[in-house]
Amino acid sequence: LRCLHKFASDPDSILAFLNSLSPALPALLPVFMVMGVNDPVTLRGLSGMESRDRWLYSWVKEGRITESQFKIIRAGMQKIQQHSRLKSSDINFSALQLYGHVQCLDVRPAQNKIVFMLPMPQRTQGN
């Protein structure tokens, strides 16, 4: 189980995605970090968003990436979406609303599983 404290930043996973593109675009890691795409959960969620292409294209308009980089990133995200059995709409984060945060989250698309570890309630004396 991989612990992500409030979805901690994981630049290595984003770098792995950027290196998997053809051609590889590792120099764009700072752009992804600044734009908040800094962990595998966010990357998978972004790849399944209806407005993904429009949001990514805003990076072109802002001068963060080129038109060709946009097309390469979009193709990579389409592959993530096609290969992922979990869609962003399948992830139920009601536990976050109930408990305020999740101590550990493990997303396992190949097994079609999401594992949450919630903080244990404090027991008071006499219980």
Residue 111 falls inside a structural domain: no
Q: For residues 39 and 8, is the Cβ–Cβ distance under 8 A?
A: yes
Residue 96 falls inside a structural domain: no
Residue 66 falls inside a structural domain: yes
Residue 124 falls inside a structural domain: no
Residue 24 falls inside a structural domain: yes
Residue 122 falls inside a structural domain: no
pLDDT in tens, 91-127: 444 334 434 444 444 444 444 444 544 445 555 565 5
Distance between CA atoms of residues 23 and 19, nearest Å = 8
- Please give the tally of structural domains in the chain: 1
Tell me which amino acid residue 106 is: D
Residue 67 neighbours by CB under 8 Å, 6+ apart: 60
Tell me which amino acid residue 107 is: V
The pLDDT value given to residue 103 = 45
* Rounded-to-5 percentages of helix, strand, coil across the chain: 50, 10, 40
Residue 30 falls inside a structural domain: yes
Does the pTM surpass 0.85? The reply is no
Distance between CA atoms of residues 18 and 76, nearest Å = 8
CA angle 16, 56, 85 (to 5 degrees): 55
pLDDT in tens, 1-29: 344 444 457 788 899 999 999 999 999 99
Residue 125 falls inside a structural domain: no
72: containing domain: 11-85
DSSP-based three-state secondary structure for 118: coil
